[in-house]
Structure 1
């Protein structure tokens, strides 16, 4: 799969999301800022109205000339000002013909949401209105000030402020988004692109793809790169091993027929040697025959594994006790490591009547492999037992042999690597485990000591 274009890349998505989220944050800041600007503007008008109304108290007979009244109201930016004292005295300043009030806003009862709603309502309104603003004096909270003023100048100032704050918000958003994008791109996106490119290259050419770049990071991306490199090495090793096994299987399949013919001829000649008058020839003939039988058996195992692995299963009810008795002669006909025919005891401890749904031939093949491994390792007795539990059956194969050497335990169940004896190929356990897994179970090592080895074959009932 090719790398995505820039428009659909992770970098583009990250940039767009960063800009959107920063703009959203700026909107959340812009909204209360506009409301706060309007509130501050109205409070300034109330404070100016308070100071202007105090001129009434200083004037003779509390009468202010029309000229001074006009100057004071112009300074406040209002048509009328009322200052209510705690003793209910009222100082008033008003033009001769004040306009009719269209709306009244009492700042004493305005909440946060109402202030925001009133601010945006003023921004959107186009008609000219006269409004009355009521609130405590910012100079003395005991005094109440009422100001009648035009809303249009305030709305125009709010629009100028909104444009400035919006432009500033856009600039801040772009700068912040750019910095966040560059940081995230350097920390996450570019390493992820390198990681993705390494995965794509490895998928296309596992053998020749370069390893992912090492950057020495100790965070999650660094761990991912390190684990990816280890995984690629493991997969390459597995692929090389599969190629060797495939080549080996092809070679064995080609020469197996001819090799069996050669071994059959050698067996016939060996039998004639057994009829020889030479006592030395008669003495070595049994061992020669045993070696030839072992060679034939080795070829058969290798061919079966490399060609088919585990054959398709033909499930049927299998009585385990009868099957264990059936494979006993084949196990006891095996050879020990020194070429002498085995004389190990085969003990059947499986309860009578216990059955499983399995392929009879394949399950017998697994038991023979386990039994022969035990006999070839030098066991004098092999005991097969079974116990049902929770819809499953566990077959245990325990021998009295010397136990598995350390090398065999390290490569247990690995074909061509897990043999416990010289000259072995380690296919017996590998085949037995594949048979168990094909049935939906598994083969595991229970224990291996100097007193013997026990394997457990778990199967669904």
Structure 2
């Protein structure tokens, strides 16, 4: 079938892939959403703990400033009933209660320390100094305060913002600070969750539009094309975009077009091949009959010598035609051979092969030079079949000596086959492993090397032409791997 103009401009049909096969319901999209939320929450956690530490420092700094302010106020406005230079105790207690401070000590340059706080406990279990506190230490202190359910008293030392030369020591209860930290944590947690979910939703929508949707479109096109590769409507139509997705869609479209053309070509060649097989079968029958008649004529008594000579040439030509038809039918009908691997010794395989081939190839000397310890896993029948075809081809190409040596190529074991026959022509090299096209000699079928490569590749090996020059042709046979 020819590819028409309609075939080259298809209308794309994309079947929606089933959800259970592609996992589009709870697959990549949901994974992206969940991962985005998790990563956003992790970032918010780092922000949250640092914010809690900052909130605690600000809270305690306010208490320090409030204590300095209270001391300044009390010193500036003494009570009416108090002696001169004394602080009114009622005003003192009222100001300390309003500031939630149990007591304080003010250290000023060139002045003696001054302490206020009739309710200060004799022992303060926890002391903190904000002047030289590290960031990690502040975070740990904030979390410890939140985790401590028992009410206790804490002492805090810091510098006054109003006068950095003044050192203020404040004694206060920890419970109010703990309550404020938890209230701040709850507010910040709600905001963090909202930010994380909102960010995740936006990232999810962007990734869904930019990546997941094109990926689902590519997958749907592959599934639809797989169902019917010869349908031109199932070839994807690439979107106009310059990113990686556009490149992938264009590459997929090109691959589908080439694959579809190859399938159409294969179908056409299959029809031609089937016709050739039928013709070859009928031709073989006709030639067999002609061969029998030629044999009778050649063996007839009292036949003229000139006629017998001509008959002999006819018989030889008919033999070649029958052999060609037989090989063509066998090659067309045979499928991939069945592989039965086992541990093999390379030297033993080659020795048996030389024993079998040397009598039928008297004009070529087969030399085996491989170590006895080389072992590999392969099918002995397929390997002998491949090597036999290779050696026969070399002998038929005029080689008088064929040498088999072992070589290690990277991580592969290789058998190097070297012969001193004529160099291969360029046409033969270009079609060396193509059936019916790689023959060098006149009347050859061109099936020896293709059959050898198939027998090696089906069990994990290969054969390549390393070089060919006048008098030296080298093939590398990569032995099968386990």
Q: Tell me which interval the TM-score lies in, with the shorter structure as reference length.
A: 0.7 to 0.9
Segment drifting more, 438-447 vs 249-258? 249-258
**Gaps (5+ residues) in structure 2?**
1-16, 79-83
Match of 1:80 in 2: 103
- Aligned counterparts of 2:360 and 2:209: Cα–Cα separation in 1: 66
Do residues 41 (structure 1) and 59 (structure 2) align? yes
Per the TM alignment, residue 247 of structure 1 is displaced from its structure 2 partner at its CA by 6.2
SS at match of 2:360: helix
Per the TM alignment, residue 134 of structure 1 is displaced from its structure 2 partner at its CA by 2.9
SS at match of 2:364: strand
| 1:199-210 equivalence runs, <5 A | 199-208=222-231, 210=234
Match of 2:32 in 1: 14
- Among 23, 27, 34, the alignment partner of 2:45 is 27
Do residues 186 (structure 1) and 204 (structure 2) align? no
Equivalenced residues, count: 438
- For the structure 1 residues 362 and 354, does the alpha-carbon distance in structure 2 shift closer, same or farther, using more than 3 Å as the test? same
- Among 191, 195, 198, the alignment partner of 1:172 is 195
Per the TM alignment, residue 294 of structure 1 is displaced from its structure 2 partner at its CA by 1.8
Per the TM alignment, residue 44 of structure 1 is displaced from its structure 2 partner at its CA by 1.4
Segment drifting more, 162-171 vs 410-419? 410-419
- For the structure 1 residues 307 and 41, does the alpha-carbon distance in structure 2 shift closer, same or farther, using more than 3 Å as the test? same
Match of 1:304 in 2: 330
| 1:26-425 equivalence runs, <5 A | 26-58=44-76, 61-66=84-89, 68-70=91-93, 72-73=95-96, 76-87=99-110, 89-94=112-117, 103-108=125-130, 111-123=134-146, 131-208=154-231, 210-215=234-239, 225=249, 228=252, 232=256, 259-271=283-295, 285-308=311-334, 317=349, 318-328=351-361, 346-351=363-368, 359=380, 363=384, 367-368=388-389, 371=392, 375=396, 379-389=397-407, 393-400=415-422, 403-406=424-427, 408-419=428-439
1:88-121, CA deviations, whole angstroms, 9 ceiling, x for partnerless residues?
6123444x66688775432247554553344345
**Gaps (5+ residues) in structure 1?**
330-345
Contact (CA 8 Å) 2:463, 2:477: kept in 1 or not? Answer: yes
SS at match of 2:238: coil
Larger relative contact order (CA 8 Å, sep ≥ 6): 2
SS at match of 1:15: helix
For the aligned residues, what is the CA RMSD? 4.4
Contact (CA 8 Å) 2:394, 2:402: kept in 1 or not? Answer: no
- Aligned counterparts of 1:413 and 1:298: Cα–Cα separation in 2: 18
- Aligned counterparts of 2:356 and 2:188: Cα–Cα separation in 1: 88
Q: TM-score, normalised by structure 1?
A: 0.75
Per the TM alignment, residue 42 of structure 1 is displaced from its structure 2 partner at its CA by 0.7
Match of 1:428 in 2: 448
Per the TM alignment, residue 246 of structure 1 is displaced from its structure 2 partner at its CA by 6.6
- For the structure 1 residues 138 and 454, does the alpha-carbon distance in structure 2 shift closer, same or farther, using more than 3 Å as the test? same
Per the TM alignment, residue 36 of structure 1 is displaced from its structure 2 partner at its CA by 1.1
